[in-house]
Structure 1
Amino acid sequence: APIFVPILLICLGSVASYPTAPLGDGFVYETLNFLGKPLNALLIGLGFALTLLQGKGRLEEFGRHTQKGLEVAAPIILITGAGGAFGAVLAATPLGDYLGETLSTLGLGVIMPFIVAAALKSAQGSSTVALVTASALVAPLLPQLGLDSDAGRVLTVMAVGAGAMTVSHANDSYFWVVSQFSKMSVATAYKSHTLATLIMGLVTITAVWIASLVVL
């Protein structure tokens, strides 16, 4: 129950919030939408977990489990928050506009969206911000890049996606989640996780570039 109930509530909340409103917009919708929010669902799951504690020493046992959980989770939460905050500071700079204006004149074709997205990802850490910002910067430049055809737009989306995962390092909260849960040192995480994201991005953009030679 502590695991199944939160998952069920989150699923029901997602169904209730679907645009077609399959459960209407009345009491059922409001209830499931509230209970289906991840924090609320997990809190309910915690309540079910507390019922599993038995005996007179259940409060002491609860304290031990809480302490053990905090020892593992607290550093991850703090480091992840710090990494996200650092990324937000960098995202507030005019880096994206500068990159777009500078690279648009170089005639890089499908490589240009990749470079913009990769630079944004590496600078501020968030793949979502890199995707959204790079897309907004590149869209007006598609005719100049020779990518204003249907195939060109598809390749642009793929190039931006490749750049948005290149690379994950210290300013990316996911970097710290992976390194801390895997109990890797920062140096090891750079050699494995960061290097892996670099390889993924380069392999993907290479494939996209080869495809552009064929279809454009």
Structure 2
Amino acid sequence: MPKHGKKYDEAFKLIEKNKLYDPEEAVDIVKKTASAKFDETVEVAVRLGVDPKHADQQVRGAVVLPHGTGKTKTVLVFAKGEKAKEAEAAGADFIGAEDMVEKIQGGWTDFDVAVATPDMMGMVGKLGKILGPKGLMPNPKVGTVTMDITRALSEIKAGKIEYRTDKAGNIHAPIGKVSFDADKLAGNFFTLLDTLIKVKPAAAKGQYLRGITLSTTMGPGVKVNPLKAQGGKKE
């Protein structure tokens, strides 16, 4: 067993072992257990009743959290001409075409999200081996391959997050910072959970929400009652 620090151990004492908490209660405890000197990210891990080996049971998409994530994202847009001008007006941090492809091939990946117009994907496709493993490849499923650059940028800057199942059928996503009001964290939590329920694959059998854990970057996990996580308050 790894040894944890004194603050972690103190935080762990606030959590009842094997108890499934209501979401709002879990949020309160997670805020209390945060002990780092920086503003920790609050994360949710959801274990879904899916088998991601089957393409029809993979869960992937994006959702705009109503209260943002507390992190400003750096956005690169692959576009030319009028769409490049639109990207600039909409607040893109980096804009380019062949020049950006070459820069990335040279090892530069100093951005959080990449957006591309569909006509650029032939060129951007060359970057699959670099951007794919980092989760930075533009994808129409999450709205990052689009002609509506203005909308894509405004959603990303407002707090849009991507989610996808890992090999074990788990989804990990940030829902804000410890400094957020509890109501805002709960609002983001319910928005994410509602979205995951809406995109439940038809092929998924049995219980869909199998386990939910809330935690901070450095803190212990708090288990949430999956039944109470459905259809909660949004704001």
TM-score (norm 1): 0.24
Find the structure with the greater CA-based Rg.
1
Structure whose residues are more often strand by fraction: 2
TM-score (norm 2): 0.23
Which structure would you say has the larger RCO, counting Cα contacts within 8 Å and 6 or more residues apart? 2
